[in-house]
Structure 1
Amino acid sequence: MPATPRGATLRRRIRSLGGKVIRRLGLLPGGMPDGLGEDQELLGTSWPYEVLVYFADTPEALYQIEQWYDTFRALHAEHPVVVVTQDSRTARAIRRDSGLDVRTVAHYTTLDDILGRSPTKLALYVNHNPENFTCLRFGQLVHASLMHGDSDKLVTVSNQTKAYDFSFVAGQAAVERMARFSTLYDAHARCVPVGRPQLDDQLRLRARTPRGPLPTVLYAPTWEGGQPSAEYGSVATHGLAVVRALVESGRYRVLYRPHPLTGVRVAAYGEADKAIREYLAAAPAPAEGPAHGTDTHGDVAPAFAAADLLVCDVSGVAMDWLATGEPIVVTRPVGDVVIASSPLLELAPALPVAALGDVLATVDRELTQDPTRDRRLTLREHYLGDTAPGASTQRFVAACERLMEIRDREVARIEAYGAPSAAPTGNERGTR
């Protein structure tokens, strides 16, 4: 028997009420924003922000935006910044830890309403969340992808990059990578090298941190990736063997810094991570200096400041470490993961599984002889540009200002033609 209009309305209300209760009780599936927005308070208002940072993720992905807080605060000092989320839990954490203005917007129509009467010109994104398209639809903004790291992983040349007007990248190496491995994409026109502003404070902290009596080796692997083709992580294949060899030598202090998402897709990574943590917790402390340990701080700067050599995977950590000028050893994944040719991977000593027995000798050689130092310092500029403290932040702010100028010119150009009558906005059902 067909449902009556009254019955269908009642069921919709029940589902809506049930959804609200589920969201407020925090019973949503992992990765789903709670959608508890400030929409009713925001509708019909405007805001003073020139820059919008769109972050649609749930709290487990906060590490992607946390590294940008200092940079966003520097930008906010010149041009007002607001962070827009779809999740009230995420909003609370960002507001607490960053001091930035944050708004939770659950519905596209709310954002459309506010932006129509506000001076917002630039939208920034720190990941490729599919929900970014909620904001990418606004043609009166210039959209720039920042991402949350630069690396020689092939995922850094994702086809999703084409959705944005521009991509902020660390240095010339990233432009060349995009030009070489992306199809139908003008990397030289759309990539904007700004360095890595996150490194400004890291380098200052490193300069103030005294060296320990024993060299510290930082083991900072990546996670298993979102799919097997991106499984660059070494925790399950290399981790415990690397850590044990260095600890048992008695010549090094070992600091382990796992990726926050380690083990979320592959259980073996979580088990290996647990084994490494437990081993280091039980290992006797070095004869001198700090104990071995696991670092899980949100900020990588203290770990970088304490370390004399990095063992890592093909990841963004390798790029950032270049700024220190110190030695690096890069693992090689097992399986069918594609490793693209790059200047850093060709230069840095490789550590495949077959060479785990030589890890101690490799670390000894790199710390005592450092045979690739001069070439590595040359690569530092190629990958990161000017690494003088403060230089990257200045370049970032200047790049944002240039994009806002481009936006003003483009909006003026379109307005000169006059608005088309009854032009579709793209949010009507059935439009193409």
Structure 2
Amino acid sequence: MTEARSVARKARHRLALRKATKDLAKTDRSIEPGTRRVMVHFGDTAPHLYQLTQWFPALREIDAMLGVLIVTRSPDAALQLRRDPSTPFPVAHAVNHNDLDPIVAAQDPKVALYVNHHRSNFAMLWHPTMLHCYIGHGESDKIGISASNQLKAYDYGFVAGQAAIDRVSRRLINYDTSQRLIVVGRPQTDALPARADTPVDAPRTVLYAPSWEGDRPANYYGSLRSHGPVIVAALLADGGYRVIFRPHPLTGKRDPQYAAARDQVAKMIATSLEEDPGAGHVVDLDSDFGWQLAECDLCVADVSAVALDAVAAGKPVVITEPAAASANVPSDSVMSRFDLLPASEAARVVEWLENAQTGEQAEVISQVRTYCFGDTSNGASTKLFVDQTSRLADLRDSMLAQRDART
């Protein structure tokens, strides 16, 4: 990103936040004290809300037991959540400690949950009367996120399965995974939504869900620029597939070449639909992720949480090989178990998809599913998530009583 583009983007962002701050005051609602014993802290801006909203179905179960409160730190995120009638929980907004401390004092939360490692998390972590638990926003081999040293800031971390435990154990020093990591599976795949307008006689559906360009060289896993147009061209030319194209919502934010590739793929699909309106192809640039995975029969994704969500949901998946040498796939990682589709093979994606269904890769997918997620029967992960959150709430009460008894 050029310096001029960066300065312009930051200026637009500041203006948007100022407007959101003004509008936010009109949406304030009172929250009854002592009714929200689980807080979910979200420090990032509105474009990153997908990290939070994917947890809403599972959090509804927690809400029925303990009451859930979303605490935002960016006004645009708070405003978007409050204006969305589907947001199931009250949303409190805190600019700084002067706002956050009264919220905590009024609700006396037992557990605080965190979906990312945003720097503003430290303001909530200052509070010692609750247990702090990192839950993340996906199971993946992006070790800078899923096995970050920042895990040490939280009392506990919820992880999907044994693969995550092994990943953290290999990377971190001075961190006892047996004491601090708790397996809860992947609740998101228990409640994949369906659309009402799915074509009844649709052919096999392939979801192409590439990651974004990443925020640093180690995270340059996105395939959209290197593979995307060739993959989609091959699928459309085959004629036996319906394509759902769902790029990461942050695509193009840092690299305009990714935005250009996204637009190129979208145009290819639009042209195909003009020629055959009944093909049922979909370009989805902004809806919440979930229904796409429920609707597809097969998936093409990058080294990302989407690829492993497809595995958890029982979908045959082809995973792309990062074109950037800086995006390392360690030899002991989960993703190294797969044959990764290089850009030079992108035109043969149909053959790769067939192998993912019936060939050697089908057995790899089955093994990885068990290793990463354990019990993937419907509802099992949500039950684990609810039970373990409830256990932490009880543990907090016990620990707090012990502390107070010493004073």
TM-score clears 0.5: yes
Contact between 1:127 and 1:147, CA under 8 Å: does it hold in 2? yes
Residue in 2 that maps onto 1:76 = 63
Residue in 1 that maps onto 2:240 = 251
Residue in 1 that maps onto 2:341 = 351
Contact between 1:325 and 1:373, CA under 8 Å: does it hold in 2? no
- Cα displacement (A) at 1:27: 6.6
Distance 1:52 1:354, change over 3 A: same
The residue type equivalent to 1:216 in the other structure is T
- Cα displacement (A) at 1:31: 7.7
Are residue 233 (structure 1) and residue 222 (structure 2) matched? yes
74-83 or 377-386, which deviates more: 377-386
- Cα displacement (A) at 1:373: 2.8
- State the Cα deviation string for residues 235-294 of structure 1 (Å, max 9, x = none): 011100111111112222222110000011111111111111111111157979642221
Pick the aligned partner of 1:186 from 176, 181, 189.
Answer: 176
Are residue 106 (structure 1) and residue 95 (structure 2) matched? yes
- Cα displacement (A) at 1:322: 0.9
Contact between 2:202 and 2:280, CA under 8 Å: does it hold in 1? no
Distance 1:286 1:360, change over 3 A: farther
Are residue 145 (structure 1) and residue 134 (structure 2) matched? yes
Distance 1:27 1:179, change over 3 A: closer
Contact between 1:169 and 1:192, CA under 8 Å: does it hold in 2? yes
Contact between 2:229 and 2:264, CA under 8 Å: does it hold in 1? yes
Distance 1:346 1:163 in 2: 29
1:80-229 pair list within 5 angstroms: 80-95=67-82, 96=84, 97-116=86-105, 118-155=107-144, 156-202=146-192, 205=194, 212-229=201-218
- Cα displacement (A) at 1:117: 5.1
Distance 2:205 2:222 in 1: 21
Are residue 340 (structure 1) and residue 330 (structure 2) matched? yes
Distance 2:211 2:13 in 1: 29
Q: Provide TM-score, normalisation by structure 1.
A: 0.82
- Cα displacement (A) at 1:48: 2.2
Identity of aligned residues (%): 36
The residue type equivalent to 2:399 in the other structure is E
Are residue 274 (structure 1) and residue 260 (structure 2) matched? no
- Cα displacement (A) at 1:224: 0.9
Contact between 2:151 and 2:157, CA under 8 Å: does it hold in 1? yes
- State the Cα deviation string for residues 285-326 of structure 1 (Å, max 9, x = none): 797964222123533332112212111100000111112323
Contact between 1:123 and 1:142, CA under 8 Å: does it hold in 2? yes
Secondary structure at the aligned position of 2:182 is classed as strand
Residue in 2 that maps onto 1:360 = 350
Contact between 1:214 and 1:289, CA under 8 Å: does it hold in 2? no
Residue in 1 that maps onto 2:4 = none
Distance 1:336 1:31 in 2: 34
- Cα displacement (A) at 1:91: 2.1
Residue in 1 that maps onto 2:360 = 371
Q: Tell me which structure has the larger Cα radius of gyration.
A: 1
The residue type equivalent to 1:321 in the other structure is A
Secondary structure at the aligned position of 1:259 is classed as coil
Residue in 2 that maps onto 1:397 = 386
Q: How many residues align?
A: 388
Structure 2 residues without counterparts, runs of 5 or longer:
1-11
Contact between 2:69 and 2:91, CA under 8 Å: does it hold in 1? yes
Distance 2:367 2:270 in 1: 38
Distance 1:55 1:126 in 2: 7
Distance 1:42 1:238, change over 3 A: closer
Are residue 52 (structure 1) and residue 30 (structure 2) matched? no
Contact between 1:75 and 1:81, CA under 8 Å: does it hold in 2? yes
Distance 2:354 2:364 in 1: 19
Residue in 2 that maps onto 1:386 = 375
- Cα displacement (A) at 1:210: 8.4
The residue type equivalent to 1:358 in the other structure is R
- State the Cα deviation string for residues 365-409 of structure 1 (Å, max 9, x = none): 434x34333442232122112222222111111111111122122
- State the Cα deviation string for residues 64-117 of structure 1 (Å, max 9, x = none): 111111111111001111111123432232233322111112231333234335
The residue type equivalent to 1:348 in the other structure is F
Contact between 1:54 and 1:85, CA under 8 Å: does it hold in 2? yes
Secondary structure at the aligned position of 2:70 is classed as strand
Q: Provide TM-score, normalisation by structure 2.
A: 0.87
Structure 1 residues without counterparts, runs of 5 or longer:
1-25, 419-432
Are residue 28 (structure 1) and residue 14 (structure 2) matched? yes
Contact between 2:273 and 2:279, CA under 8 Å: does it hold in 1? no
221-230 or 86-95, which deviates more: 86-95
Contact between 1:235 and 1:273, CA under 8 Å: does it hold in 2? yes
Give me the CA root mean square deviation: 2.9
The residue type equivalent to 1:406 in the other structure is L
Secondary structure at the aligned position of 2:14 is classed as coil
Residue in 2 that maps onto 1:310 = 299
Secondary structure at the aligned position of 1:321 is classed as helix
- State the Cα deviation string for residues 144-203 of structure 1 (Å, max 9, x = none): 01111110112211111111111111111111111111222112211111011111112x
Distance 1:87 1:365 in 2: 45
Secondary structure at the aligned position of 1:152 is classed as coil
